[in-house]
Amino acid sequence: MTKTDTSSRSGAARAAADTTTLEELERRATAHRDRPSYGHDALIACDRLVRIFTTDGVEVQALQGLDLLVKEGELMALVGASGSGKSTLMNILAGLDVPTAGAARVAGCDLLAMDGKARLRYRREVVGFVWQQTARNLLPYLTAAQNVALPMQLKGRAKRKAERAEELLAMLGIADARDRRPHQLSGGQQQRVAIAVALANNPSVLLADEPTGELDSATGEQVFAAFRRANEELGTTIVIVTHDQAVASEVRRTVAIRDGRTSSEVLRRTEVDEQGMESLVAREYAMLDRAGRLQLPAEYTQSLGMEHRVALELEQDHIGVWPDDAER
């Protein structure tokens, strides 16, 4: 065989290998394009969300690659210590703040791509918001019915505003307060009127930031019952930020945020035993983000002396996690 023949065969082999590589890359690219996008079937989808604040030249990362999916019709709670990032997340979802990086979509709206006009329309039509401070939710010189009618008037829905206001106040159990101004209402009544205001334009999502924080436990239960009624009767998706464990334990799903990321999730479901008796069962899960990161509970890692590194072992139905023996 001549040198020329050998070179020709080598060149042909390289060409075949290159063709195979190109075909493989094209196949992978096609598979990636055909794969549904992250959160495609969720009403709220936060993908690796980052929010950085700069104060006096010092950067603070309030959100550090947070992932969160919320399905349409859910009633869920967000919990976390002060500074965990939960209020920052709520402000972003409410259209009051803009993420630094990542992606966030609510009811088909891209929260990073909206201009000022679109953001105003988003706050008016897509989301409703209930603040912790009762006085912040209502205009003091308007009656309860007038406060509820105002968002509809601003949107241009003047025809049914009085009727819609009456319906919402009746549904939330405060129809008798329709002609009272905020100072004539109790704290619980003010919050229920605030919920009616937030629901006035039939938003896709209702957000509430510590709505029972200034109320006693009995009144807080009444306010939460109003949220549940709105969720069940109107089908509104509701996300509540709360420190109140009584509220957190009342929802089917509670997501905990720690250090700017979702860290754990509690799911509650109803089970029926052999005697036909129903009971509510809660189970806590650690959250695994899209990069494969897992936040282990601090009490677990501290009790086993886990620092810096851990040993992993893949079993048939689980992954084992152990302290690093090299550090002992």
In the chain, where the domains are located: 44-248, 296-328
Architecture in CATH of 44-248: 3-Layer(aba) Sandwich (3.40)
List the single range of 7-11, 154-158, 224-228, 233-237 with lowest mean pLDDT.
7-11
Tell me the backbone φ, ψ of residue 49, rounded to 5 degrees.
Answer: -75, 130
Q: What is the mean pLDDT of residues 239-249?
A: 83
- pLDDT category, 169, cuts 50, 70, 90? very high
> What pLDDT is attached to residue 56?
82
Q: Is the pLDDT of residue 6 over 60?
A: no
Closest CA relative to residue 77, chosen from 276, 282, 326: 282
Percent of the chain surpassing pLDDT 90 = 45
Percent of the chain surpassing pLDDT 70 = 89
| Nearest-angstrom CA–CA distance, 6 and 171 | 86
Q: Is the pLDDT of residue 306 over 60?
A: yes
List the structure tokens of 124. Answer: 């008016």
Q: Is the pLDDT of residue 7 over 70?
A: no
Which helix (H) or strand (E) covers residue 196, if one does?
A: helix 187-199
List the structure tokens of 247. Answer: 């509220």
| Nearest-angstrom CA–CA distance, 311 and 325 | 8
- pLDDT category, 39, cuts 50, 70, 90? confident
List the structure tokens of 3. Answer: 């040198």
**Which amino acid, 238?**
I
Alpha-carbon torsion (263, 269, 272, 277), positive or negative: positive
Q: Is the pLDDT of residue 65 over 70?
A: yes
Q: Which residues of 248-275 are buried (b: 16+ CB within 10 A; e: fewer)?
A: bebbebbbbbbbbbbbbbbeeeeeeeee
List the structure tokens of 200. Answer: 């006035």
> What pLDDT is attached to residue 31?
57
For residues 28 and 209, the model is more confident at: 209
- pLDDT category, 32, cuts 50, 70, 90? low
- pLDDT category, 257, cuts 50, 70, 90? very high
> What pLDDT is attached to residue 214?
82
Average pLDDT, the chain: 85
- Give the list of residues 6+ apart from residue 27 with CB closer than 8 angstroms, or none: none
What are the DSSP calls for 251-286, one per residue? SSEEEEEETTEEEEEEEEEEEE-TTS-EEEEEEEEE
Taking the model in full, what pTM does it have?
A: 0.82
> What pLDDT is attached to residue 35?
65
pLDDT digits 0-9 by tens, 92-120: 999 999 999 999 999 999 999 999 999 99
Q: What is the mean pLDDT of residues 36-42?
A: 81
| Nearest-angstrom CA–CA distance, 65 and 61 | 10
The most confident of the ranges 20-29, 89-98, 132-141 is 89-98
List the single range of 12-21, 69-78, 140-149 with lowest mean pLDDT.
12-21
**3-class DSSP assignment, residue 294:** strand
Tell me the backbone φ, ψ of residue 12, rounded to 5 degrees.
Answer: -65, -40
C-alpha atoms less than 13 angstroms from C-alpha of 273 in its C-beta half-sphere: 6
> What pLDDT is attached to residue 302?
87
